Amino acid sequence: MLKDLFSYMRLRMSDRLSGNRRSKKIKYPFQKMVIAAALALWSITAINVLYSDFGVSGKDKIISAFGSMTYTDVSSSVSAYGKYGEVSISDNAKKLILEDIAEKIGINQYSITDMVDEEYNAVKTLSQTSVNGDVILKFITHDASQQYIYVGITLKNVIDAAFTYEEIVKEILNDLDIDTAVNVNLKGEIYGKLDADTKDTLADALLGKMGAKIVTQNRTDDLYTIYAYDNDLKEYINVGQGKVNVNLSITYDETKNRTCVYLATPMNNEDL
């Protein structure tokens, strides 16, 4: 995790030298927050290692368990999608709502576009891409008055800060009176294709370190996914007859020759 932190500090310095300084009032708040969050959460994880699991939250255990594995690349994401309401909203009002969300996340170098998707929904998108991470915000209008908001944050080369942004997104949704789950997904890549036994060993080790109990699973080559429940995590969703708040998936990317390990809470909603 120190590697993640030092990598981010180096990338931030690189950004500053690039001359991208549109705003003097707020300089790189998104990157600064990532670094600060990574440092704070790494300290928590270090204490976890030294003093065992006494008093450690479920999210700290996720970071510790996932960080104990060896990956060639790591990334993380935070996403949420929920209904804003059934009301007609002007184009300018949508823009102001997205800009307010962007300010709370800490980005100010974004662009805004409009389009109609394949389902004939009107979509206003605010996005910002950088070497440190990407943010995509969408205001989606269905049948003129059905309003939905999507928030997506991707953090490159770091996992610790994801749970800090989860809290930020939760606060944003609460302010907008949107009741929906906020999904956090950690991703690690391993060179080559893992055999069935190796995948089982990796999955069992991750869930074992967290103390999560398996609810349902499918361990096949075509679909390797496990749904589990951890008592130390407050949020959960119902899958069938059981509570679920941990989702572990393993896939293989043939083009990159890499095995991808996803550890999400409460659910992985990314394309695998």
pLDDT digits (tens, 9 = 90+) for 33-45: 555 554 444 443 3
Query: What is the pLDDT at residue 53?
Result: 41
CB 251 within 8 A of CB 272: yes
Q: What is the mean pLDDT of the chain?
A: 84
88 torsion bin: left (phi>0), alpha (psi -120 to 50), beta (else): beta
Q: Which of 13-22, 190-199, 239-248 has the lowest mean pLDDT?
A: 13-22
Q: What percent of the chain has pLDDT over 70?
A: 79
Mean pLDDT across the stretch 169-178? Answer: 96
- Reading the block at residue 230, the tokens are 């951890």
pLDDT at 8 over 80: no
pLDDT at 229 over 50: yes
pTM across the whole model: 0.79
Burial tier of 59 (Cβ tally within 10 Å: 0-12, 13-18, 19+)? buried
Query: What is the pLDDT at residue 22?
Result: 38
pLDDT in tens, 105-164: 999 999 999 999 988 999 999 999 999 999 999 999 999 899 999 999 999 999 989 999
Which residue matches tokens 């009107």?
A: 122
pLDDT in tens, 202-214: 999 999 999 999 9
Q: What percent of the chain has pLDDT over 90?
A: 69
Query: What is the pLDDT at residue 104?
Result: 97
Band (pLDDT 50/70/90 cuts) for residue 269 is confident
Mean pLDDT across the stretch 90-108? Answer: 97
Higher model confidence: residue 44 or residue 226?
226
Query: What is the pLDDT at residue 271?
Result: 67
Query: What is the pLDDT at residue 2?
Result: 39
